[in-house]
Amino acid sequence: MTEAPRVRAAAGGLALSGESLAGLMGAVLEKGGSFRFVARGESMHPAIRDGDVVTVVPPGGRPPRTGDIVAFVHPETGGVRVHRIVGVDGGRYVLKGDNALGADPAVGRDRILGFVAGLERAGRRRPLGPAFLAAALARLSRSAWFTRLARRLRRTFSRPKGRS
């Protein structure tokens, strides 16, 4: 054998995306484990930011509710998205990124892999916020004008880059 056999930690060195990540996450959650991964993108800003570590837990017996942040398999791309449930329409879940102007295509219960139960930013745990606020935010978030307003407010009040 040319190289001694080794087990390697794969964090940061393994590009899992799309269906691969969905399959792996689905298998872990199905067996009752939780799945941690690094979130990419700004569609859930400010609740989840690019680079945050997200912990997804299996749904168990609890049905998803408006306001929950869930990991789901996007019906068009087959990849995993982490967005908020903003409504239930005819038994299908309407999901949307807090910072996205439009909703995702509605999905059935079978496409929801698990709930986001934990969040870490720069090595520190962050609270997800109380459920009643999440539900209120979900209802407001359905409207594009609210998202635009939130974006504008964030731009206005955010600290300019480069200043401490």
Residue 37 C-beta: closest distance to other proteins, Å: 8
Enumerate residues 81-120 that contact other proteins by CB under 8 A. none
Return the residue of 35, 72, 93, 115 that touches other proteins, per CB under 8 A: 35
3-class secondary structure, 93:
strand
Tell me how far apart the terminal alpha carbons of the chain are, to the nearest angstrom. Answer: 54
Size of the site for other proteins (CB under 8 A): 28
Show the tokens assigned to 5. 């056999």
Q: Is 31 in the site for other proteins (CB under 8 A)?
A: yes
The upper half-sphere exposure of residue 123, i.e. CA atoms within 13 Å in the direction of its Cβ, equals 0
Residue 122 within binding range of other proteins, rule CB under 8 A: no
How far, in Å, CA of 117 to CA of 121, rounded?
Answer: 14
124 binds other proteins (CB under 8 A): no
Does position 12 interact with other proteins (CB under 8 A)? The reply is yes
